[in-house]
């Protein structure tokens, strides 16, 4: 299986990334966040499983604060799915792969 590409999104690249008609899953995280570290391998697995049908990106909230503040993110990890520039789904907190798959499956063909 080819390695999936996970983009590192920043405050300046966020708008362009979420305008895609392909659903985009963004993992808002920080280095010090233990639940974020538990979710990271699940996000990596989703990127591989849905390659070509789902864009996957990560945003470090310590390095990029404007977008998380604008989106009202108060807790991490927060996983959001965008399509055509609109927020279509989100999950806050650590979870398991099946919960994330169900969320993604609602938006991926």
Q: Do the domain assignments include residue 26?
A: yes
The total of structural domains in the chain comes to 1
Q: Do the domain assignments include residue 108?
A: no
| Backbone φ and ψ of 25, nearest 5° | -95, 125
pLDDT band at 4 (very low <50, low <70, confident <90, very high): low
Give the active site residues.
Answer: 33, 36
Predicted local confidence at residue 38, as pLDDT: 96
pLDDT band at 2 (very low <50, low <70, confident <90, very high): very low
Q: Do the domain assignments include residue 65?
A: yes
CATH number for the domain including 93? 3.40.30.10
Kindly report, residue by residue over 52-104, the tens digit of the pLDDT: 999 999 999 999 999 999 999 999 999 999 999 999 999 999 999 999 999 99
Q: Do the domain assignments include residue 43?
A: yes
Give the range of the structural domain holding residue 61, as residue numbers without chain letter: 6-103
Note whether 4 and 44 are within 8 A (CB): yes
Specify the pTM.
0.94
Predicted local confidence at residue 5, as pLDDT: 82
Closest residue by Cα to residue 60 from 13, 107, 102, 95: 13
Q: Do the domain assignments include residue 70?
A: yes
């Amino acid at each position: 299986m080819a390695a999936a590409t996970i983009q590192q999104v920043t405050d300046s690249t966020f708008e362009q990334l979420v305008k895609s008609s392909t659903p985009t899953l963004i993992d808002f995280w920080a280095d010090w966040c233990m639940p974020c570290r538990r979710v990271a391998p699940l996000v990596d697995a989703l990127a591989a499983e849905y390659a070509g049908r789902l864009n996957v990106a990560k945003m470090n909230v310590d390095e990029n604060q404007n977008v998380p503040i604008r989106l009202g993110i108060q807790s991490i990890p927060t996983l959001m799915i965008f399509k055509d520039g609109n927020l279509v789904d989100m999950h806050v907190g650590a979870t398991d792969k099946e919960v994330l798959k169900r969320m993604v499956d609602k938006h991926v063909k």
